[in-house]
A and B are shown apart, each in its own frame.
Chain A
Amino acid sequence: MKKFLAVTLGILTAIGGFVDMGDLVANAQTGSRFGLSLAGVVVIGVLGIVVFAEMAGRVAAVTRRAVFDLVRERLGPRMGLINLIASFFINLLTLTAEIAGVAISVGLLISVSYVLLIPLAAFLVWLVLWRMPFEWMERFFGLLGLVLIVFVVSVFKLGPDWGDLASQATHPAVPEHESLATVAFFAIALLGAAMTPYEVFFFSSGAVEEHWSTGDLNVNRANVFIGFTLGGVLSIAIMACASLVLQPADVQVDTLPQVALPVAVAMGRVGLAVVLLGIFAATFGAALETALSAGYSVAQYFGWQWGKFVKARDAARFHVVMLGSVVVAALVGMTAVDPVKVTEYSIVLSAAALPLTYLPILIVANDPEFMGDHVNGRLANFFGSIYLVLLLVVSVAAVPLIIITKGGSG
Chain B
Amino acid sequence: MRRSTLWSVVVPVVFVITGGCVTNPVGPVTTVDGYREKAAASIDVALGSVETVRLVGEAELEDKTFTSFTRQVVDDALGPMRTAEDTFETIAPPDDEARALQREVLDALVLSRRALVVMATALEEGDPNAIARAVAAIRPHADALRTLREKLGSRSP
Is A402 within 8 A of B17, CB to CB?
Answer: yes
Is B66 within 8 A of A249, CB to CB?
Answer: no
Is A407 within 8 A of B51, CB to CB?
Answer: no
Q: A250-B48, A261-B56 are in contact. Are A272 and B69 (CB under 8 A)?
A: yes
Q: A177-B155, A261-B56 are in contact. Are A108 and B69 (CB under 8 A)?
A: yes
Interface stretch (choices B18-26, B95-103, B104-112, B129-137): B18-26
Is B72 within 8 A of A111, CB to CB?
Answer: yes
**Binary CB contact string for chain A from 174 to 188 against chain B (1 if under 8 A, 0 otherwise):** 001111011000000
Is B21 within 8 A of A252, CB to CB?
Answer: no
Does A110 interact with chain B (Cβ within 8 Å)?
Answer: yes
Bound Cα distance from A177 to B26, whole angstroms: 22
Interface stretch (choices A162-170, A206-214, A263-271): A263-271
Is B44 within 8 A of A265, CB to CB?
Answer: no
Bound Cα distance from A323 to B51, whole angstroms: 41
Does B157 interact with chain A (Cβ within 8 Å)?
Answer: yes
Q: A109-B66, A403-B17, A406-B20 are in contact. Are A257 and B72 (CB under 8 A)?
A: yes
How many chain B residues touch the partner (CB < 8 A)?
Answer: 36
Is A111 within 8 A of B24, CB to CB?
Answer: no
Does B59 interact with chain A (Cβ within 8 Å)?
Answer: yes
Does B76 interact with chain A (Cβ within 8 Å)?
Answer: yes
Q: A251-B48, A254-B48, A255-B76 are in contact. Are A265 and B157 (CB under 8 A)?
A: no
**Binary CB contact string for chain B from 114 to 147 against chain A (1 if under 8 A, 0 otherwise):** 0000000000000000000000000000100010
Bound Cα distance from A145 to B80, whole angstroms: 30
Chain B residues closer than 8 Å to A258, beta-carbon distance: 52, 73, 76
Chain B residues closer than 8 Å to A267, beta-carbon distance: 64
Bound Cα distance from A255 to B76, whole angstroms: 7
Is chain B's interface secondary structure helix, strand, loop, or mixed overall?
A: helix
Bound Cα distance from A403 to B20, whole angstroms: 4
Is A261 within 8 A of B73, CB to CB?
Answer: yes
Chain B residues closer than 8 Å to A254, beta-carbon distance: 48, 76, 80
Does A410 interact with chain B (Cβ within 8 Å)?
Answer: yes
Is B157 within 8 A of A405, CB to CB?
Answer: yes
Q: A251-B48, A251-B55 are in contact. Are A399 and B17 (CB under 8 A)?
A: yes
Bound Cα distance from A220 to B80, whole angstroms: 45
Bound Cα distance from A272 to B56, whole angstroms: 12
Instruction: Count chain A CB atoms within 10 A of each CB in B52, B149, B154 and give the residue with the most.
Output: B52
Chain A residues closer than 8 Å to B66, beta-carbon distance: 108-109, 269, 272-273
Bound Cα distance from A107 to B72, whole angstroms: 9
Is A402 within 8 A of B41, CB to CB?
Answer: no
Please give me the residue from chain B that is nearest to A255 by CB atom: B76
Chain B residues closer than 8 Å to A110, beta-carbon distance: 68
Q: A251-B52, A252-B48 are in contact. Are A404 and B157 (CB under 8 A)?
A: yes
Bound Cα distance from A249 to B44, whole angstroms: 11
Does A335 interact with chain B (Cβ within 8 Å)?
Answer: no
Q: A249-B51, A250-B146, A269-B66 are in contact. Are A407 and B23 (CB under 8 A)?
A: yes
Q: Identify which of residues 87-133 in chain A touch chain B, using a CB-to-CB cut-off of 8 Å.
A: 107-111
Chain A residues closer than 8 Å to B155, beta-carbon distance: 177-179, 182, 410
Minimum C-beta distance from B126 to chain A (A) = 13
Minimum C-beta distance from B91 to chain A (A) = 15
Q: Give 7 CB contacts A-B under 8 Å.
A: A181-B157, A250-B48, A254-B48, A257-B69, A264-B65, A273-B66, A410-B156
Residues of A within 8 A of B (CB): 107-111, 176-179, 181-182, 245-246, 249-252, 254-255, 257-258, 260-261, 264-265, 267-269, 272-273, 276, 345, 399, 402-407, 409-410
Other A-B pairs beyond A108-B68, A251-B51, 16, CB < 8 Å: A108-B66, A109-B66, A111-B71, A250-B47, A261-B56, A264-B64, A265-B59, A265-B64, A268-B62, A272-B66, A404-B20, A404-B157, A405-B157, A407-B23, A409-B41, A410-B156
